[in-house]
Amino acid sequence: MTSEQDKMEAGEWYSCLDDTLEALRVTTLEAVHAHNHLPPTERRTLSAPLRSLFASVGADCLVEAPFHCSYGINTHLGDEVFINANCVILDSAPVRIGSGTMIGTGAQILCADHHRDPVKRRAGIERALPVTLGENVWIGAGAIILPGVTIGDRSIVGAGSVVTRDVAADTTVVGNPARAVAR
């Protein structure tokens, strides 16, 4: 029988109310808590708690506090990634953030897609869809990136935008839902 974690990693419907997944989330909460309570001088580069948690980390990354993620083990950072304060990454699926990308304060990257059937949703049934941010992307403050979205290289997501679909390279999107505008 396939575990709930295996289903999650395969992008299939799974129960997030699983003891193994809960144990992973508790480990993540401990690492995030440690990061968020470090003195600012110890966060000038990516802190040890997050560096050991994330799947991969490039050179010269910085994650401001407070920060929150659900698993951490599915987050991949390229070189020189900057994540500002109050960001949330719910990484039940792979989240790949390309080199040179900047994420504004309060932005959210969400991978969990909850079931449409209210009975299944109440039972914790969801699926995890990956999110990819290309290189040199700028995500404005308070933007929300929904499950399954890819944002192309050098694109800009305006502050407060809700990105519901893929964004081509070299594109600026704004609004809810986010739509392309002239640069």
Q: Which residues contact 23 (CB under 8 A, 6 or more apart)?
A: none
**Which pLDDT score, from 0 to 100, does residue 116 have?**
96
**Which pLDDT score, from 0 to 100, does residue 1 have?**
66
Residue in 68, 76, 114, 115 annotated catalytic? 114
Total tally of structural domains belonging to the chain: 1
Residues 105 and 78: their CA atoms lie apart, in Å, by 19
Per-residue pLDDT of the chain (183 residues; tens, 9 = 90+): 689 999 999 999 999 999 999 999 999 999 999 999 999 888 778 889 999 999 999 999 999 999 999 999 999 999 999 999 999 999 999 999 999 999 999 999 999 999 999 999 999 999 999 999 999 999 999 999 999 999 999 999 999 999 999 999 999 999 999 999 987
**Which pLDDT score, from 0 to 100, does residue 57 have?**
97
**Which pLDDT score, from 0 to 100, does residue 43 have?**
78
**Which pLDDT score, from 0 to 100, does residue 26 have?**
97
Measured in degrees and rounded to the nearest 5, phi and psi for residue 121 equal: -65, -45
Give the closest residue to 84 by CA, choosing from 99, 68, 96: 68
Specify whether 114 is catalytic.
yes
CATH of the domain at 177: 2.160.10.10
Give the closest residue to 72 by CA, choosing from 39, 26, 3, 127: 26
**Which pLDDT score, from 0 to 100, does residue 39 have?**
92
Range of the domain at 106: 4-181
What DSSP state is assigned to residue 115? -
**Which pLDDT score, from 0 to 100, does residue 120 have?**
96
